[in-house]
Amino acid sequence: MLSAADNELLVRTNQNTPLGEYFRHFWQPVALSEEIPLPDCAPIRVTVMGEELLLFRNSAGKVGLIDRYCGHRGADLFFGRNEECGIRCIYHGWKYDTDGKCIEMPNVPPGAAYHDTIQIKAYPTQEFADMVWAYMGPAESMPALVPQLEVGLVPSENRYVTKRLIECNWAHSMEGALDTAHFSFLHMPAPSQMNDDNPNVAADVKRLRWLRNDPTPRFTFVDHEVGFVIGGARHADEDEHYWRLTQYLLPNHSITPSSMPNEIYYGYSWTPITDEACWMYVYAWHPERAITAEERTRFDQGGYGQFAALGPGYLPLRNRSNNYLLSREEQRTESFTGIRGIAEQDQMAQESQGYILDRTKEHLTPTDVGIVRFRKLILDEVKALSAGNTPKAAHLGQAYRTRGGGALTADQLQLEEVMIERFGTKTGVVN
């Protein structure tokens, strides 16, 4: 459990909150590039950590992230005209560039008091890995690089990037990714489905059997410069261990533990919208080959576990408002939850904890040790920032080039040996 004060620290990211200030020292994904695909295309509203902003791509292709409301009398710039290298407010025609500078004021005589002096809020942006990233912290602390996640370093045909709306506090979802013990329950097919003849599970049946048969994985950790690796070891067949190796990357990224050697890698980043909702950016990449058309189609449809079937606005079709299309019949006969899709099962569990979880009421167990470590690290970092120490990890962009995944090893290996065997380095950093 956490104290009420620490729980508050962990969930609040608006301006002038300690975690909000910490997040703002890092580049954060704020949209997919595909949401503003072309010069002078329609601008979009984005709310990031409680700040209402407008994102647009100007005539030259440059991206601007500015205050959503006009400096004159507050009209919503979402309704504005994106034209000739700026957003023009529809109320009285004031026009803003990507830096938030008001460059035209047709209702103000030249030489009048305000001319050339109006500046609305604007944040620097970069595009990386098909996402638009923004830096919303103090200018003097701005890191040169966005986190160099491997997904952004492979050729574009080798990756697939999307996002989905999570209707609860960001930390529920982050903790859900670090809590790899839940797989033995939440994602299990019904026992009657666990046979090699069932085409839905045949390919994974061995892994599912190991997961089901060992619901108390042993967790160990390797710390590194920008987070840590969580290693969860389960008994496999014979004298082997099935390891699930998850990356936690400060402050809000994770690389998943599912990929066996030569499989596609997956990762997540969470950007709070408000304290009660966040965007989860979900990405897949293969270091050596393109993602095939067939794989893209399956991802689009919510296949392969990491992706949910999405409706308009990147809202999952199975969501909080419809109980994730829970079928009690399927819960009896086909799966532990009666909800289709691993991503949707995760989302259900996380959102079912409420909009903001009260961690003072928890009863943690030894398999929650990854979550405990995450909370301690991020709260220590936040408290250090409050004491005047800016986060080092924000300036170590290259250290984010890490992998996570699964491994089958001899049972006497320690986590560092497993990491070297699986990824070539004990931290999973790709050289």
Using CB under 6 A, pick the residue from 22, 27, 94, 219 that binds ligand FES. 94
How many whole angstroms separate alpha carbon 136 and alpha carbon 66? Answer: 11
Stretch that binds Fe ion, among 41-49, 70-78, 263-271, 338-346 (CB under 5 A): 338-346
State the angle between helix axes of 170-178 and 4-11 in degrees (0 to 180), rounded to the nearest 10.
Answer: 100
> CB-wise, 51 or 179, nearer to Fe ion?
179
> CB-wise, 94 or 133, nearer to ligand FES?
94
How many whole angstroms separate alpha carbon 367 and alpha carbon 78? Answer: 46
How many whole angstroms separate alpha carbon 117 and alpha carbon 430? Answer: 47
Stretch that binds ligand FES, among 91-99, 180-188, 208-216, 313-321 (CB under 6 A): 91-99
Q: Is 167 in the site for Fe ion (CB under 5 A)?
A: no
Q: Beta strand pairing status for 125-128 and 240-249? A: unpaired
Using CB under 6 A, pick the residue from 44, 50, 91, 317 that binds ligand FES. 91
Contact 255, 403 (CB under 8 A): yes
> CB-wise, 64 or 257, nearer to Fe ion?
257
> CB-wise, 96 or 400, nearer to ligand FES?
96
Using CB under 6 A, pick the residue from 8, 21, 39, 75 that binds ligand FES. 75
> CB-wise, 75 or 142, nearer to ligand FES?
75
How many whole angstroms separate alpha carbon 47 and alpha carbon 279? Answer: 10
211: burial class by Cβ within 10 Å (0-12, 13-18, 19+)? buried
Q: Which does 70 bind (CB under 5 to 8 A by kind): Fe ion, ligand FES, none?
A: ligand FES
Total residues interacting with Fe ion, rule: CB under 5 A:
1
Q: Beta strand pairing status for 131-134 and 125-128? A: antiparallel
The CB-of-74 to ligand FES minimum distance in angstroms stands at 6
Q: What is 346-379 written as a DSSP string?
A: HHHHHHTT-SS--GGG----GGGHHHHHHHHHHH
Q: Which does 72 bind (CB under 5 to 8 A by kind): ligand FES, Fe ion, none?
A: ligand FES
At residue 88, what are phi and psi to the nearest 5 degrees? Answer: -105, 125
> CB-wise, 95 or 286, nearer to ligand FES?
95
Binding to Fe ion (CB under 5 A): which residues in 345-374? 346
279: tokens are 């965007």
The CB-of-77 to ligand FES minimum distance in angstroms stands at 8
307: tokens are 């992706």
Give all strands (DSSP E) within 250-388, no chain letters.
253-255, 265-274, 277-285
Cβ-proximal residue to Fe ion, closest one:
346
The CB-of-249 to ligand FES minimum distance in angstroms stands at 40
Q: Which does 346 bind (CB under 5 to 8 A by kind): ligand FES, Fe ion, none?
A: Fe ion
Q: Which does 81 bind (CB under 5 to 8 A by kind): Fe ion, ligand FES, none?
A: none
3-class secondary-structure state, position 221: strand
356: tokens are 């903001």
> CB-wise, 91 or 221, nearer to ligand FES?
91
How many whole angstroms separate alpha carbon 356 and alpha carbon 360? Answer: 12
> CB-wise, 114 or 155, nearer to ligand FES?
114
How many whole angstroms separate alpha carbon 404 and alpha carbon 388? Answer: 32
Using CB under 6 A, pick the residue from 45, 73, 115, 332 that binds ligand FES. 73
Total residues interacting with ligand FES, rule: CB under 6 A:
9
Contact 327, 183 (CB under 8 A): no
> CB-wise, 40 or 346, nearer to Fe ion?
346
Query: Looking up tokens 């595909």, which residue turns up?
Result: 34
> CB-wise, 94 or 268, nearer to ligand FES?
94
Q: Is 72 in the site for ligand FES (CB under 6 A)?
A: yes
Q: Is 175 in the site for Fe ion (CB under 5 A)?
A: no
Helix/strand number for the chain, H first, E second:
10, 19
Using CB under 6 A, pick the residue from 62, 81, 92, 298 that binds ligand FES. 92
Stretch that binds ligand FES, among 89-97, 127-135, 248-256, 375-383 (CB under 6 A): 89-97
Q: Is 89 in the site for ligand FES (CB under 6 A)?
A: yes
- Burial of 190-210, coded b for 16+ CB within 10 Å and e otherwise, reads eeebeeeeeeebeeebebbeb
For ligand FES, the binding residues (CB under 6 A) are 70, 72-73, 75, 89, 91-94
For Fe ion, the binding residues (CB under 5 A) are 346
